[in-house]
Structure 1
Amino acid sequence: MIKPGSIVLVEDDQDDKEIFEDIVRELGITNEIYWFPETTAAYQFLETTTEPVFLIFCDINMPGRNGLEFKRHIDSTPVLRRKSIPFVYFSTVARQEDIDEAYINLTIQGFFTKGTKYDDVKSLLKKIFDYWDCCRHPNSQ
């Protein structure tokens, strides 16, 4: 475990979900991982959970409400804004217009491209978790 709280993964690809979970466990991170293959259920979880959430990883291309719309919905909900949950995009696609939208109009903390090689994804996730383990933010314990 790094900091207390669950990890929320909003990802519609089952293979990517399994790779993410495998890498997180290989890194020795024992936080609970909640997986949502679409944004509506993820939003409902975030809105109703009473347990702390350490970090949200979200894909951009999602069925129904995409990752940008999902973050916009979170930001428009006062109870979720107060939770100040760190939010990063972790996506196969990184179009410049999505990156611009995410940083200029949304309150995200990172936009990362997954990569295609297991070791590259593992290295990237390690960097992300190391950063958030050291970072102070409103939910820091």
Structure 2
Amino acid sequence: MQEGPIWIVTEDREDHELIQEILNELDFKTELVLFTKSEDLLACLDQAKEAPFIIISDANLPGMNGFELREQLLSTPNKKFHSVPFIFWSVTPSEVQVQRAYELKAHGFFIKEATYEEWRDSLLIIIRYWQKSKTPSKKDQPSAPQL
């Protein structure tokens, strides 16, 4: 089973409360780290003792948007952040946004649903899927030479 905190980036504080409520209801014991800006997440990279289990980011964020955040994570020299499943979500994603997400090797793009039950179901599906999936190590991994 995969371990580590769940990092979520969304500027909407009501989303933060809803996510916390859902994860409490689902009885997930993993740490939840909520960010309102991409820049805040990036500031935590050097201090992070472990890479997160998963990152879920809103596509539309103030300042650095979710796509720019993904680009920054992929360019970080420490490979432990490259293996973290990165999921986008948005209220109304455009086809252009979905295509861009997959160009950036996103692991999924979900719609922020209209009801509590739909949000809960989506989060449960995302988390359960990645708990079952094998991913490369998330321990410190400096860039290795290409083979």
Contact kept in structure 2, 1:60 and 1:93, CA below 8 Å:
no
The structural deviation recorded for 1:44 is: 1.4
Structure 2 residue aligned with 1:13 = 12
Contact kept in structure 2, 1:4 and 1:52, CA below 8 Å:
no
Unmatched segments (≥5 aa) in structure 2: 140-147
Which of 99, 112, 115 is residue 113 of structure 2 equivalent to?
115
Task: Give 1 or 2: higher helix fraction.
Answer: 1
Structure 1 residue aligned with 2:136 = 138
Residues 78-134 of structure 1: per-residue CA shift (max 9 Å, x gap): 21x433111101221211101001102x12101000111110111111111110110
Unmatched segments (≥5 aa) in structure 1: none
Q: Which has the larger radius of gyration?
A: 2
RMSD: 1.7
Report the 3-state secondary structure (helix = DSSP H, G, I; strand = E; otherwise coil) of the residue aligned with 2:53: strand
The CA distance in 1 between the partners of 2:64 and 2:97, in whole Å, is 14
| Equivalenced residues, count | 138
Counterpart of 1:70 in structure 2: which amino acid? L
TM-score, normalised on structure 2? 0.87
The structural deviation recorded for 1:51 is: 2.2
Identity %: 30
Q: After the TM superposition, list the runs of 4 or more consecutive aligned residues in structure 1 that deviate by more than 4 angstroms.
A: none
Structure 2 residue aligned with 1:44 = 43
TM-score, normalised on structure 1? 0.91
